[in-house]
């Protein structure tokens, strides 16, 4: 569970690293323009598809574009933890430098007898943005599915967790950004 939390935090930091400035501007913002990234979770999207979610985390950035603070919130919107983050590296892929383009990437794990233990399938679009991840037990039993939505610049706007039995979203993670202005 602890490792899952670290992975989730790493995904949120990566997701909050970039976002568009406005729909009118066709130039992507650079990381040094993001001031805050607020992360909202709607846990009952199966019951209410329009649920905007509750604020669960907020990342604050310095003017160089690096995360320097993480704030965690409880279900009532009260702060439950504040963490200072140091360092000047962002280990996440940049929208302008995709890892895979228009690719289906499959990782299969086998036991010592050659039987499939599990399988992970990642689908990337023509812009190189990760669109879907599916996790299988054995060869064909789908156990988990995540999809991702982006703006026109490849900046993540939603991370969607699916109920695989109902083939409907069950949780959405939504990202909202605030930017530094050029004003003094």
pLDDT of residue 1: 47
Question: Is residue 59 within 8 Å of 180, Cβ to Cβ?
Answer: no
pLDDT of residue 138: 95
Domain boundaries, the chain: 2-179
Tokens standing for residue 96:
């302008």
Nearest alpha carbon to residue 70 among 59, 54, 78, 81:
59
Q: How far apart are CA 58 and CA 35, in angstroms?
A: 10
Question: Is 107 in a helix, a strand, or coil?
Answer: strand
* pTM confidence score: 0.70
pLDDT of residue 31: 46
Render each residue's pLDDT in the chain as its tens digit; 184 residues.
Answer: 444 444 444 455 455 544 433 333 444 455 457 788 899 999 877 778 788 899 999 989 888 778 888 999 998 889 999 998 887 654 344 566 677 888 999 999 999 999 999 999 999 999 888 999 999 999 999 999 999 998 776 777 899 999 999 999 999 999 888 888 876 5
pLDDT of residue 4: 43
Q: How far apart are CA 20 and CA 153, in angstroms?
A: 7
pLDDT of residue 104: 92
Question: Is 151 in a helix, a strand, or coil?
Answer: coil
């Amino acid at each position: 569970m602890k490792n899952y939390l670290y992975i989730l935090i790493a995904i949120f930091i990566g997701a909050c690293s970039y976002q568009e400035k406005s729909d009118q501007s066709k130039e992507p913002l650079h990381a040094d323009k993001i001031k805050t990234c607020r992360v909202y979770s709607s846990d009952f999207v199966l019951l209410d598809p329009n649920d905007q979610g509750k604020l669960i985390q907020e990342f604050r950035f310095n003017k160089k574009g690096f995360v320097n603070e993480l704030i965690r919130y409880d279900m009532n919107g009260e702060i439950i933890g504040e963490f200072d983050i140091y360092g000047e590296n962002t280990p996440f892929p940049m929208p302008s430098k995709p890892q895979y383009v228009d690719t289906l990437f499959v990782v299969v794990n086998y036991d010592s007898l050659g039987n499939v233990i599990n399988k992970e399938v990642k689908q990337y679009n023509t812009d190189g943005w990760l669109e879907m991840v599916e996790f299988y037990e054995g060869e064909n039993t789908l156990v988990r599915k995540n999809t991702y939505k982006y703006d026109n610049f490849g900046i993540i706007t939603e991370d969607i967790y699916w109920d695989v039995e109902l083939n409907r979203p069950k949780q959405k993670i939504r990202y909202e950004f605030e930017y530094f202005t050029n004003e003094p």
